[in-house]
Each structure stands twice: as structure tokens, then as C-alpha cells.
Amino acid sequence: MAHLSNVLSILLLIIGFGFVIFWHELGHFLAAKWVGIKVEQFAVGMGHAIVSFRKGIGWKVGNTRAEYEKRIIEHLDSQHNASIRRVQADSEAGAPPAPETEILSNDMAVTPESESSRAPAIEYTDAQKDRAAEELGLGETEYRLSWIPIGGYVKMLGQDDMKPGADAEDPRAFNKKSIPQRMLVVSAGVIMNIILAALLFMLLFMMGFHAPAPVVGGVYAGSPAQQAGLHSGDTILAFDGHPQQDFTKISLNTALASADEPIQVTVERVGTKKVERLDIQPVRPDGASKAFLALGIYPSPRLVGMEQRDWPDEPESPDFELAGARAIRPGDTITQVNGADVKPEDYYIFNEALQQSHGKPVELTVRRKEGKVEKIQIKPHFQISPLVTAPFNIAGLEPRMRVEAIASKSSPVFGKLKPGDVIKSVAVRNANTPASQPGDAAPDVSVPGFVKSVNEAGQNGHTVDLVVVRDGKEIPVNGIVPMDLPKSDGRKGVGVAPGLEERTPVVAATLKDSPAANIKDGIPSGSLITEVDGKAVKTWFDVRRALTEAGDHKLTLMPPNATKAIERTLTLGKNDAQAVASIRLEASLLLGELKTLRKTRNPLTAMGWGVLETRDLILQFYVTLQRVFGGTVSASNFMGPVGIVNAGARFAFKGTDWLVWFLAMISANLAVVNFLPIPIVDGGLFLFLIIEKIQGRPLSRRAQEYAQLVGLALILSVFLMVTYNDIARMFGH
């Protein structure tokens, strides 16, 4: 049934795309008909016709043009032959030619001849053909569905996108109409797309839109949201004075905010329901200069299992995903956290339990789908914040790397490493190193140190020897050949998801320009922290808890292969201590989304919401373009046809409401793209008409042809770029 639902979703997506394109072309068509332009073809899709329809002929596989022309020529030939016979009969009777015969002869570029001796083909005029089509009841417009399911067009007499300056003498030709009439025809498709987006949003809000609730699930360590005081469970009511009904709009508005001014965020505090206004300055993740801005928050889940349609397929091997991620399954409900009753909407209680756990397991009471009640233990992990450029550290002390998961069977360590393995040592071996000798030991086995060592080994064609700790035993893994990593610009690796070894406080490295780096005499790499300020510590969680106060802290350490402990003094300033205290904990669970229903039975209210949504999407698209041309947002964020279909399929799987939302968004974006001042799209044609109005004559045919070539080259370049980005994203490159 799930596969059938997916197929139906994709079919709905295809039909929806076709409808959006049809609606755009319908705008051009209706406007052309309204101002009296002859429309020869109305096509959805590009290329050859699959099926077509023409009044008087009906439906036909392929196009109707040949039959249309055949019927007209046969009709005109029949009239012509009848005319000749009348002329011959009148001539034999000695009577003067009939007036209608003279008119027919004047319209045709032929002289009356006998039927047997005249030329086999006659050049009929367009006016004659139009009259013949009308007499036969044949429609002048062919409606077609073409093979390539992107784009579409309306072919008007006297207008050809690929032949600028196209001209026709027929008074019903595009080029014979006034500039305002042509402007209306050119812009009608864009106008219709805007109308369609508003109508789709109206439909969406009347049927009900299950959007992510504007509730903060959690904040990232060191993020603007954390610094401003946002907490898990807070509801965002407004964003720079604009009401926020769902988390999707919050993310979009933040991404396109100004990087130079703080955002005023109105929140309702969880528990107290107190409303406060916070000024938050968004930043770019990882310090990337062209990434979208972010506040450092994520939407709140529910304390239930993910919906079955969103549930990821079971991996081929348990080594391919994070341990414990599937502890809560579709249909399961968490009813208690550490013995306290909770509702599905109380994710913030679970989040707070994680923060207060200090690394100890959080107990969840779970009612399974089949009704059975179980108690499970969830181990917290340190959160890796995407907004912090520095590697994870506690006052500059970096833990060793732990293997979280293996990427795939193609990984050079598949079957050799296991999730949970802790990297104790890395040695690089070149081809000339004898097997009896160890490789060159890397001094740093933190996550960045490991990544750097393996990458350099791979770039130089060397192999890597590892020693990992598994279940308290040291296990050698030798002769690893680093592989090319996806999405890495040529970097090498071993294909594992890196994590932090949190359970044993061994110092893998000290971060440059940190409190730990300023310790007199330093800390030997691989030293085990046994005490902080005279109190025993057994995990990194204990170390973090002991270092949340400013001042001097005495560390007792056991260096590797040493028989005697050493002591070092770690001095923390106020900001250093606050940075340690801000470290967040999280758990890897596949939970369902917390959603809010945006619905109204009032059509006027729904239309008002729809107009506002359409306006916001159009403005956001223009702001995105401005950011791209300004160099603050990367063009790699754009999607092409492949990406749109891939994203559309995901939205379609989420439900009919999300499919309608996606199509409304596509319609609004199509309006913007089509009205950009680029030759070959509607905006470029509109620009030509403005120039024609200003200078009193159209641009020269050569100038238009050059402009069209430039526009075509630009469109093709962008198409190839976004298609490459789409495929790279799909295949992980």
C-alpha cells in the first residue's frame, strides 16, 4: 500500500506540474484571443506532440497539422475546380463569368485552366485558408500535449521566440497589435501564475495545511538563539512584527534576513505563557560566507515515533546508521520521561532532561504500537553545533574520535571497524615502509586530526594503520586505502560518520588559542583526565560539569604509558566558562513532527492568507537573487528540473496539503523567473517592448537576434549548472 501511495503521489505531482504550466500558457492564450491575435498552437510540454486536439478534427495521436492542411487544400481545390467548371460552362454558353468566379480568380495566384492541365499545387493565400477553415468548421488552434514534460508554449502568428523580429502581414498577427496589447499578452502568463499561486494557497488553507509548528525544539550551542535566551518549547509568535504561523516561514524569513541588523523575535515562553521580545542577530552556519543565515534553532518534534511514510528503509547492515536511532518506531508514544508523565507535545521536557542528565541515561516509558509498555534507556551525546566553526572542545580540550556509523559497503573499513570503536592511534604508511616497522604516528586523534591525517595520506597515495578500542580491547586495523569522499571537493577519507568518544576523558588534542593551549608545560596527547579540582571524573560529561565556573582548575592527568600522574592548572575566564556551560546534549531518535493546522472555512480569510503567502514567496525569491548577485548566497542553493522533481516527490509523499503548497510555491517562483529581464523569457520580451515604446521603433532584428542568443546561452548555462547541482546532491557529490 505504501508503494501504491508513493506512485499516486508522483502521478499527482506530474499532473500538478502540467497544470501549473498549462495555467501559465493559458494566460498567454486568453490574452492573445482577447486582443484578436491568431493562435496557431497551444502546447503543454516541449518537442513532438503525444496527442493533440483541434476543433473539427478531434483527438489525434501526434499532431493535427497535416490533416488540417489536407482538408483545407482539398476544400480549396474543390472550390477552385468548381469555379473552373463554371467558367468553362459559361464560356461554352457565351455568358460572362459570374462575379464570385472573378473574385476567386483574383484571390488566387493562378489563371483558369482545365482541371487536367493545371499545375498540381496552387499557392493559396492565408486569407483563403482562414475562410476555408471557417467554412469547414475547423479550429485555427491546435491544442497539444508534448513529450518533454517541461515548459510549454503558445504559438501566435507573427511571434516566434527563436526568431526575434518575426513579421506577418495578417492584421491578426502579434506584430500588428499595439504595444500595450502585446505587453498584456507577454505578461499574462506571469499574472496567471501569481493568481494560481494565490488560489492554490486559498485552497490549501481551506482544506487545512499541516505545517511544522512555530515551536522551538532546541537551540544549538553558541548560536544567536542561545545567546538571546531562546529555550526549547518557546513559541515564536512574530518575526520582525510579522505573525509566524509555521516553522517553514521562520526558516525562510531568517535565511533571507539582513546580516547586518538584528531580528526582533516575539516569543511566548513555555510554561509561563509570558510574551517577550528578543533581538537576535542571525549568522551563517560554519562561518560560510555564502550560506543562508540562521538563528540556530530547530523545530520541535513530538514524543511519538516518526510517521510510517517518513520512516527510513532498514539498512543493509546495522553498521550503516547511528546506534539507538530506531528505539522509537512508528506508532510508539513516549508517556513518561524519568518517571514524569508527559504528553506528545512535551518534547521540551525530554530536552531539558537531556541537558540535566550530565551524560547519564534518560529513562523513557514507551507505549508501543501494539499496546505493550516498555522502559528504555537513552544515552545523551554532545551536540555538534553547525554554527560553531571550531571543532568540539571543552575549554580547548578535544576528545578522541569515535566511529558513529559506516557509510556503505564501499567504505574501505566496512567489516573492519564497528560503530562505537574509539580511535586510539593513526599511523601513515608509505610504500617504502617495511612491514616490520610501524608507520608514522599522527599526533592527533580528535575528529579534525583524524580527518586531516587520513586525507593527507590518501592524497599522497599512502595507506593508514589504525588501533581502535572496542569493548575495552585494542584492535589493530591495518592497510586502509583512503577513498574519495562525496561532497568534499576531492578530499579523501575512510567513509565513516565521525563522533566523539564521550565516556572516557582522554585528551586527543588541545585547541589553538584556547584556555587549554595556554596551560604551562601543556598536556601530552593521549592523557587521561582522572580528577578536576580533586574530584574524580570518569567521563567527558563529568569534565564539562566541573569546568562551568570561571577561575583556576587543577587537572590531574595520566599521560600515555606513564606510571605517575601529572597536574596542570587550567584557567578559565568568564566567557570561557560560559562557553563550557553552553554545550548542549542531544539524543538520536527518529521522532514525528509537531504540526499546527492552518485552516479556515472563510473563503475571504483563506484568500487573504493566500495573497500574503504568494507575496512573501515572490519577495523572498527576489531577495535570494539579490543575495546571489551580491555574493552573500551561493548559486548552488538553486534547484533545476531534476531537483524540483526530487523535492516535489518528497513533498508529495508528505501528503496532499504539502503537494498543493509545493505547486503554489513553484507557480509563484515560475512567475518571477519568467519575468526576469532576460531575452527569450517573458521578461525579456517585455523589455523589448519597453525599448520599442521609448524609441518609437523596435530594436533591429540583428540586435534582437544577438540578445536572444545571449539569453539562450545564459538560460542553458544556468540549466546545466542547476542540473549538475541537482544530480550531485542526489548522489552525494
Q: Which residue would you say has higher pLDDT here, 721 or 694?
A: 694
Which CATH number covers residue 564? 2.30.42.10
Any domain includes 249 = no
> How many CB atoms neighbour CB 39 within 10 A?
23
Q: Is residue 730 part of a domain?
A: yes
Cα distance from N-terminal residue to C-terminal residue, the chain: 33
Is residue 729 located within the same domain as residue 639? Answer: yes
C-alpha pair distances (Å), 380 with each of 187, 323, 587: 56, 12, 5
Task: Identify the weakest region by mean pLDDT among 85-89, 105-109, 619-623, 687-691.
Answer: 105-109
Q: What is the mean pLDDT of residues 22-49?
A: 89
Confidence band, pLDDT 50/70/90 cuts, at residue 1: very low
> Is the pLDDT assigned to residue 436 strictly greater than 80?
no
Final residue belonging to a domain, choices 352, 383, 414: 383
At 468, the pLDDT band (50, 70, 90 cuts) reads very high
Same domain? 412 vs 461? yes
Instruction: Supply φ then ψ for residue 313, to 5 degrees.
Output: -60, 150
In a domain, 447, yes or no: yes
Is residue 650 a part of any domain in this protein?
yes
Cell of 471: 569493548
Q: How many domains does the chain have?
A: 5
pLDDT band of 90, cuts 50, 70, 90: low
> Do both 624 and 733 map to the same domain?
yes
Q: Are residues 512 and 612 in the same domain?
A: no
Is the residue at 11 inside a domain? Answer: yes
Domain boundary among 523, 548, 582: 582
Do 85 and 177 reside in the same domain of the chain?
Answer: no
Q: What is the pLDDT of residue 290?
A: 61
| Same domain, yes or no: 673 and 733 | yes
CB 212 within 8 A of CB 293: no
Is there a contact between 543 and 529 (Cβ–Cβ < 8 Å)?
A: yes
**Mean of pLDDT values over 23-47:** 90
Query: Domain range for residue 550?
Result: 506-582
pLDDT at 104: 44
Q: Are residues 614 and 727 in the same domain?
A: yes
pLDDT digit string, tens, across residues 358-401: 999 999 999 999 999 999 999 999 998 888 778 999 999 999 99
Write the single-letter amino acid at 495.
G
**What pLDDT sits at residue 733?**
46
Do 411 and 466 belong to one domain? yes
The verdict on residue 238 lying in a domain is no
Please tell me whether residue 232 adopts helix, strand or coil conformation: coil
Q: What is the DSSP letter of 681?
A: S
**Structural element, H or E, at residue 24:** helix 2-34
Q: How many residues does the chain have?
A: 733
Last residue within a domain, chosen from 153, 171, 196: 153
Backbone angles phi, psi at 57, to 5 degrees: -115, -40
pLDDT tens sequence across 196-244: 999 999 999 999 998 899 999 999 998 999 999 999 999 999 988 888 8
Average pLDDT, the chain: 84
Q: How far apart are CA 480 and CA 465, in angstroms?
A: 6
428/451 same-domain check: yes
8 Å CB contact between 354 and 507: no
Q: What are phi and psi of 407, to 5 degrees?
A: -65, -50
- With 70 as the cut, is the pLDDT of residue 298 above it? yes
Supply the pLDDT for residue 437: 67
Angle at 64 between CA 58 and CA 68, to 5 degrees: 95
Say how far apart CA 558 and CA 525 lie, in whole Å: 10
Q: What is the pLDDT of residue 316?
A: 77
Q: Please determine, for residue 167, whether its predicted confidence score (pLDDT) is greater than 70.
A: no
| Average pLDDT rounded to a whole number, residues 492-503 | 93
* Residue 116 pLDDT > 50: no
Would 727 be classed as within a structural domain? yes
Is residue 364 in a domain?
A: yes
**Domain of residue 358, CATH code:** 2.30.42
Indicate whether 25 and 133 sit together in one domain: no
633 and 534 inside one domain = no
Span 157-166, average pLDDT: 66
Q: Against a cut of 0.85, is the pTM above it?
A: no
The whole-number average pLDDT for the span 254-281 is: 89
Looking at the structure, do residues 77 and 165 belong to the same domain, yes or no? no
- Does the pLDDT value for residue 706 go beyond 90? no
